[in-house]
Amino acid sequence: MSEPARVAIVGGGISGLSAAYFLERDAAAHGQSMQIDLFEAAPRLGGKIHSAQHDDLLLELGAESFLSRKTPAIDLCKEMGIDEKLRGTRSENRKTFVWHDDRLHQLPKGLSGFVPGNMNSLFSTSLLSLRGKLRVAADYIIPASKQSGDESLAQFMTRRLGKQAYQRLVQPLLCGIYAGDGDQLSLQATYPELRKLEQASGSLIRGLKLRQQRSQQTGEKPLPPFVTLPNGMSDLIQAVADKLASTNIHLNTGVQDCQKQMDGWAVSLNTDEGSHAASVYDTVLMSCPAYVTSSLLENSNPALASQLNEIPHVSTATVNLWYAAESFPHALDGYGFVIPSHEQRGLTAVTWTSSKHFDRAPDHWRLIRGYLGRAGAEIDDQMSDEELVSIVLRELKRTMGISEKPAGTRIQRWPKGSPQYTLGHCDKLQNIDKTVAQLPGLFLCGASYRGVGIPDCIREAGSAAEAVFHYLESET
Ligand SMILES: Cc1cc2nc3c(=O)[nH]c(=O)nc-3n(C[C@H](O)[C@H](O)[C@H](O)COP(=O)(O)OP(=O)(O)OC[C@H]3O[C@@H](n4cnc5c(N)ncnc54)[C@H](O)[C@@H]3O)c2cc1C
C-alpha cells in the first residue's frame, strides 16, 4: 500500500480550514488517503473571524456577517448543515447613515454595492445636493470608457457617479470594507464586475437593475443580502472544524520556515516548547497573510518573498461598547454610520449592533461597535487601549450625543489585518503566480490575494484545494 500524501496547511482562518475540508472531501470522493496537518499559530481557530461571549452579550471582534450573493459561503454552510440557521439583519431597522456636514444623513435606499438603484430614494436623500444627484443620474447617459487597463476606484466611481457621490457615499462605504484609500485601490482587483457592467450596459445603474431583474426571474426566494449565524460568525469556523475527519489541527503552532527540498517541503515549527525539527510534506498550502508567507519563504525563496511583501496590509481595530438600555440616550434606529476619510476623525464607522443583528444583545443592553484605522491613518501599535477607547467615546459624543460611560468595552486590534489591493495588484498576482508555478508543491490562498470577503476566501480555498489535489494525483 502506498504512503498517504502529506499536506501541510499554514493558518487556521476560514481560508485554511475550508481548504482542509475541501481536500478531505475530494480525497474521500476519489478513495485517496491524505495526511493533512493544519498549523495555527494562535491558541484558537478562526483568524479574523472571532465571536466572543461576554456574559449575555455576543461580541464580534472581527467579521460580523457575509454577503449572500456570492455563493461559496452559502454553499459551504449547506455542506456543513448550518444553512437553515443563517439569519439576515433586522429588516425593521434597515437604514445606514453617513456623517457629513456635522450631522448624520441617511444613505439612499436600494444601494447595490455603492450604486444607487432607487432613483426616488436617491432624490430624497439629504446627503447629496441636487447637482450631486443629477450627476449620479447622468450615469445613464455617460458612455462607457474605451480605455482598457486598470484605474483606481476613486477615478472610476467619480467618472460614473460624480465627485460628490464618490466622496460622500462611495468612499466612506469603501473604507468600511477595505479600510482603504479609494485613490489607491484597484478597480480591477476589488470590483472588476463594476467595469464589466459599465462595458455591457453603458451604465452602472442600468446594469445593476438588469442583473437584479435576471436574479428575480430565477424564481428562487433571495436570501437577505448579509447573513450571519445565531452564535456569531465563529459558528461557521466551529462547523467546519467539527466536520474535519482526518485533519490534524495543531493550535499554538506557528510555522517558522519552509524550505523546498528534493523530497518535498521541510516545514519547521515553533510551539510553546520551542522550535521543532522540520517535517517534510509533499505539499504546503499557505493560507496566512502574504507578508507572513513572505517571512516563511524568505530564506529559501527571496524572490517570491519580496513579491509577496509588495502587497500592503493596514492595521485596524474594533471596539465593542455596551450600555444599559434604560439610560441610553440614542434610539439606534438603524444599522449605524460611516465617516468619510476627509473628516480625519480616527473612527471610520460605527455599527449599532443591537439594532442591526438578532441574537447579539438582550433588550436591556445597547451594543455598538466602532472601527478604527484605515490606509493613511493606521492604528499605531504604540496607541494604548485607553487612547483607542477615548477616540471612540469622543466621536460618539460628537456624532450621536452620547456622553454616558459604557458599562463595558472590548478592544480588538488587527495589526496588518486589512490587505490593500492597490493599483497594480493584479500584475503583482501574475508575477507571484509565475514564481509559485516554478515551486512544485507550494500553493497559496487567503484574503491577501483575490478577495477579502469570507465568500471570496472560501472560493479561493476551494480552488487551492483543487490544485493541491490535482498536483498530488499527478505525482502518484
Ligand atoms: C475587523 C474586520 C471585520 C471584517 N468584517 C467582515 C465581514 O463582516 N464580512 C466579511 O465577509 N469579511 C469581513 N472581514 C474580512 C474577513 O474576515 C477576512 O478577510 C477573512 O476572515 C480572512 O480569512 P483568512 O483565513 O484568509 O485569513 P486570517 O483570518 O487572517 O487567518 C490566517 C491565520 O493564519 C494564522 N497564522 C499567521 N501566521 C502563522 C504562522 N506563522 N503559522 C501558523 N499560522 C499562522 C493566523 O493566526 C490566522 O489564524 C473583516 C475583517 C476584519 C479585520
Instruction: Return the number of other C-beta atoms located less than 10 Å from residue 368's C-beta.
Output: 26
Torsion angle in degrees (nearest 10) through CA of 59, 371, 456, 201: 130
Say which residues have a Cβ less than 8 Å from residue 286's Cβ, sequence separation at least 6. 10, 11, 258, 292, 293, 296, 442, 443, 444, 445, 446
Q: Find the CATH number of the domain harbouring 196.
A: 1.10.3110.10
CB 343 within 8 A of CB 427: no
Q: Within 13 Å, how many C-alpha atoms sit on residue 457's CB side?
A: 28
Q: Which of 48, 175, 379 to mutate to test the pocket of ligand 1 (most atoms within 8 A of CB)?
A: 48
Rounded to the nearest whole angstrom, what is the distance from the C-alpha of residue 364 to the centroid of ligand 1?
32
Same domain, 296 and 317: no
Shortest-distance atom of ligand 1 to CA 11: 34
Q: In the predicted model, is pLDDT for residue 210 greater than 80?
A: yes
Taking residues 457-470, report their average pLDDT. Answer: 97
Does ligand 1 come within 6 angstroms of the Cβ of 21? no
Range name among 60-74, 203-217, 402-416 with the lowest pLDDT average: 203-217
Same domain, 414 and 426: no
- Residue 288: φ, ψ to 5°: -85, 170
Average pLDDT, the chain: 94
Same domain, 136 and 285: no
Does ligand 1 come within 6 angstroms of the Cβ of 297? no
Same domain, 323 and 400: yes
Q: What is the SS3 assignment for the chain?
A: CCCCEEEEEECCEHHHHHHHHHHHHHHHHCCCCEEEEEECCCCCCECCCCEEEECCEEEECCCCCEECCCHHHHHHHHHHCCHHHCEECCHHHCCEEEEECCEEEECCCCEECCEECCHHHHHHCCCCCHHHHHHHHHHHCCCCCCCCCCCEHHHHHHHHHCHHHHHHHHHHHHHHHHCCCCCCEEHHHHCHHHHHHHHHHCCHHHHHHHHHHHHHHCCCCCCCCEEECCCCCHHHHHHHHHHCCCCEEECCCEEEEEEEECCEEEEEEEECCEEEEEEEECEEEECCCHHHHHHHHCCCCHHHHHHHHCCCEEEEEEEEEEEEHHHCCCCCCCCEEECCHHHCCCEEEEECHHHHCCCCCCCCEEEEEEEECECCECCCCCCCHHHHHHHHHHHHHHHHCCCCCCCEEEEEEEEEEEECCECCHHHHHHHHHHHHHCCCCEEECCCCCCCCCHHHHHHHHHHHHHHHHHHHHHHC
Q: In the predicted model, is pLDDT for residue 245 greater than 90?
A: yes
Q: How far is CA 458 from the centre of its chain?
A: 11
Q: In the predicted model, is pLDDT for residue 346 greater than 90?
A: no
Q: How far is CA 401 from the centre of its chain?
A: 30
Angstrom distance (rounded) from CA 374 to CA 338: 13
Q: What sign results for the dihedral spanned by CA atoms 152, 157, 163, 166?
A: negative
pLDDT tens-place string over residues 113-152 = 788 888 888 899 999 999 999 999 999 999 999 888 899 9
CB 93 within 8 A of CB 333: yes
Does ligand 1 come within 6 angstroms of the Cβ of 174? no
In the beta sheet, which residues pair with residue 37? 8, 248
Rounded to the nearest whole angstrom, what is the distance from the C-alpha of residue 13 to the centroid of ligand 1?
6
Rounded to the nearest whole angstrom, what is the distance from the C-alpha of residue 448 to the centroid of ligand 1?
9
Q: In the predicted model, is pLDDT for residue 103 greater than 60?
A: yes
Instruction: Return the number of other C-beta atoms located less than 10 Å from residue 476's C-beta.
Output: 9
Shortest-distance atom of ligand 1 to CA 417: 53
- Residue 324: φ, ψ to 5°: -65, 130
Pick the residue whose CA is nearest to atom 21 on ligand 1. Answer: 48
Q: Which of 110, 116, 109 is nearest to 135 (CA)?
A: 116
How is residue 117 written as a grid cell? 438603484
Q: In the predicted model, is pLDDT for residue 449 greater than 90?
A: yes
pTM of the complete model beyond 0.85 = yes
In a domain, 80, yes or no: no
Q: In the predicted model, is pLDDT for residue 97 greater than 90?
A: yes
For the chain, give the percent of residues with pLDDT over 90: 83
Does ligand 1 come within 6 angstroms of the Cβ of 47? yes
Same domain, 204 and 253: no
Q: In the predicted model, is pLDDT for residue 1 greater than 70?
A: no
Does ligand 1 come within 6 angstroms of the Cβ of 255? yes
Single residue among 373, 394, 419 that ends a domain in this structure: 419
Pick the residue whose CA is nearest to atom 35 on ligand 1. Answer: 11
- How sure is the predictor about 175, in pLDDT bands with cuts at 50, 70 and 90? confident
Higher pLDDT, 341 or 317: 317
- How sure is the predictor about 220, in pLDDT bands with cuts at 50, 70 and 90? low
Same domain, 121 and 148: yes
In a domain, 83, yes or no: no
How is residue 475 written as a grid cell? 505525482
Pick the residue whose CA is nearest to atom 49 on ligand 1. Answer: 47
Same domain, 191 and 316: no
Shortest-distance atom of ligand 1 to CA 457: 26
Q: Which of 288, 392, 412 to mutate to test the pocket of ligand 1 (most atoms within 8 A of CB)?
A: 288
Q: Find the CATH number of the domain harbouring 326.
A: 3.90.660.20
- How sure is the predictor about 344, in pLDDT bands with cuts at 50, 70 and 90? confident
In a domain, 64, yes or no: no
Shortest-distance atom of ligand 1 to CA 65: 8
Rounded to the nearest whole angstrom, what is the distance from the C-alpha of residue 384 to the centroid of ligand 1?
23
- Residue 9: φ, ψ to 5°: -115, 125
Rounded to the nearest whole angstrom, what is the distance from the C-alpha of residue 447 to the centroid of ligand 1?
7
Same domain, 213 and 114: yes
Q: In the predicted model, is pLDDT for residue 22 greater than 60?
A: yes
In a domain, 79, yes or no: no
Angstrom distance (rounded) from CA 114 to CA 110: 10
Q: Which of 203, 204, 179 is nearest to 113 (CA)?
A: 204
pLDDT of residue 109: 84
Same domain, 297 and 435: yes
Range name among 171-175, 250-254, 377-381, 396-400 with the lowest pLDDT average: 171-175
Does ligand 1 come within 6 angstroms of the Cβ of 13? yes
- How sure is the predictor about 255, in pLDDT bands with cuts at 50, 70 and 90? very high
Same domain, 298 and 170: no
Shortest-distance atom of ligand 1 to CA 318: 1
Does ligand 1 come within 6 angstroms of the Cβ of 456? no
Rounded to the nearest whole angstrom, what is the distance from the C-alpha of residue 46 to the centroid of ligand 1?
7
Same domain, 121 and 181: yes
Q: In the predicted model, is pLDDT for residue 217 greater than 80?
A: no
Single residue among 217, 248, 278 that ends a domain in this structure: 217
In a domain, 76, yes or no: no
pLDDT tens-place string over residues 60-70 = 999 999 999 89
- Residue 206: φ, ψ to 5°: -65, -45
Rounded to the nearest whole angstrom, what is the distance from the C-alpha of residue 48 to the centroid of ligand 1?
3
- How sure is the predictor about 218, in pLDDT bands with cuts at 50, 70 and 90? low
Q: In the predicted model, is pLDDT for residue 444 greater than 90?
A: yes
CB 53 within 8 A of CB 265: no
Residue with grid cell 432624490, as numbered in its chain: 123
pLDDT of residue 222: 76
Domain that holds residue 204: 110-217
Rounded to the nearest whole angstrom, what is the distance from the C-alpha of residue 360 to the centroid of ligand 1?
21
Q: Find the CATH number of the domain harbouring 36.
A: 3.50.50.60
In a domain, 87, yes or no: no
Shortest-distance atom of ligand 1 to CA 418: 53
Pick the residue whose CA is nearest to atom 12 on ligand 1. Answer: 453
Does ligand 1 come within 6 angstroms of the Cβ of 449? no
Same domain, 305 and 331: no
Does ligand 1 come within 6 angstroms of the Cβ of 72? no
Q: Which of 18, 343, 67 is nearest to 191 (CA)?
A: 67
Total of domains in the chain: 3
Amino acid (one-letter) located at 24: E
Does ligand 1 come within 6 angstroms of the Cβ of 288? yes
Angstrom distance (rounded) from CA 301 to CA 329: 57
For the chain, give the percent of residues with pLDDT over 70: 99
Rounded to the nearest whole angstrom, what is the distance from the C-alpha of residue 419 to the centroid of ligand 1?
10
- How sure is the predictor about 273, in pLDDT bands with cuts at 50, 70 and 90? confident
In the beta sheet, which residues pair with residue 39? 10, 250
Shortest-distance atom of ligand 1 to CA 412: 1
- How sure is the predictor about 112, in pLDDT bands with cuts at 50, 70 and 90? confident
pLDDT of residue 435: 98
Angstrom distance (rounded) from CA 89 to CA 388: 28
Residues comprising the chain, all counted: 476
pLDDT of residue 381: 86
How is residue 184 written as a grid cell? 489607491
pLDDT tens-place string over residues 308-322 = 999 999 999 999 999
Rounded to the nearest whole angstrom, what is the distance from the C-alpha of residue 14 to the centroid of ligand 1?
7
Rounded to the nearest whole angstrom, what is the distance from the C-alpha of residue 454 to the centroid of ligand 1?
9
In a domain, 448, yes or no: yes
In a domain, 59, yes or no: no
